[in-house]
Amino acid sequence: MRVKVPATTANLGPGFDTLGMALELYNIVELTALPQGELVVEIEGEGISNIPRDDSNIVIKIIRQVYAKAKMQPCGFKLKLINHIPVARGLGSSAAALVGGAVAANELCGNVLTDQEVLELVTTFEGHPDNVAPALFGGVVVSAEVQNAQGSEVVSRKIPPPYGLKALVAIPDFHLATKKARSVLPRQVPFEDALFNLSRVSMVIMAFVHNDWELLGKVMDDRLHQPYREELIPGMKDVFAAAYDAGAIAAVLSGAGPTLIAFARENTEDIARAMKEAFERHGVKATIQELKPSPVGAKVF
């Protein structure tokens, strides 16, 4: 069983824990059933030296959860992870790993779980739906956790991938665990900052629905997480300024960082160079990749 699953950039500026976009950078999860009790984990590419190969691997954990939810007797597993998504950089590596594992396990179980059940299960594990939903469905996805009679559910709606928009990701050569980047966020925010984000996130959704890049450039700003995370990412503001000066439509933190992402339709080489040089002025080595939004999410192939 082989599953291809995309990287994701969460938040898209003001949409903290709500918005995410799939990107054309993919991990592959290969899962084979083995006799009960056997476990083999092989890793290629990103994370080769620090992702665990035992039961503490999050892919193994979610596979076991899928089997339990599907009420199937768990067997042993051979898991091969071919990783192209950099780990702990703000490009949704954990969501991709979990979605890939869950979709592969569900396939081995005869697809007992619906996509919605996979979404719920993985979101509960990950803690927020904004990477999980686009990793599963592709495109730009708006998600919310809402209360219902049974407790809560994740509602999500997909916007088709933006046409002609390119994402320039500046990936610093240091890790930042999402858990750490969430620990610097305040418990309370000023009312006017909540209002600022409410208006901006509504407009960001309108911009993606209508492919209105002029609007996106005016409203892709945030006051709920980026200002607090700036201390963790040397040069963040200068890299944003350099991207705008070189012609970017907008530049924001990708997920919890430390990757910074600029959106553009043209001048992409100039923007990439400007972001790299701005990071360098702050002593940070960064790799720049030009990616397209991915129209597809996790796929068995």
Ligand X SMILES: N[C@@H](CCOP(=O)(O)O)C(=O)O
Ligand Y SMILES: Nc1ncnc2c1ncn2[C@@H]1O[C@H](COP(=O)(O)OP(=O)(O)O)[C@@H](O)[C@H]1O
Binding site for ligand Y (CB under 6 A): 27, 47, 51, 57-59, 81, 83, 87-95, 97, 177-178, 255-256
Query: Is 96 annotated as belonging to a binding site?
Result: yes
Task: Give the three-class secondary structure for 143.
Answer: strand
Residue nearest ligand X by beta-carbon distance: 255
Lay out the site mask for ligand X across 201-240 (x = CB under 6 A, - = otherwise): ------------------------x---------------
Task: Give the three-class secondary structure for 22.
Answer: strand
Instruction: Decide: residue 216, CB within 10 A, 0-12 exposed, 13-18 middle, 19+ buried.
Output: buried
In the bound complex, what is the minimum distance in angstroms from residue 178's beta carbon to ligand X? 4
- Measured torsion, CA atoms of residues 261, 264, 267, 273, in degrees rounded to the nearest 10: 0
Query: Is 92 annotated as belonging to a binding site?
Result: yes
123 near ligand X, rule: CB under 6 A: no
Q: Which two tokens stand for residue 47?
A: 């994370």
Among 12, 63, 154, 256, contact with ligand X (rule: CB under 6 A):
256
Query: Is 94 annotated as belonging to a binding site?
Result: yes
Query: Is 70 annotated as belonging to a binding site?
Result: no
Contacts with ligand X by CB under 6 A: the residue count is: 17
Among 78, 80, 84, 182, contact with ligand X (rule: CB under 6 A):
182
Query: Taking phi first (over 0 means left), then psi (-120 to 50 degrees means alpha), and beta for anything else, what does residue 208 get?
Result: alpha
Query: Is 254 annotated as belonging to a binding site?
Result: no
10 near ligand X, rule: CB under 6 A: yes
- Altogether, the residues listed in the chain come to a count of 301
d(CA 44, CA 153): 35
Residues at the binding site for ATP are: 86-96
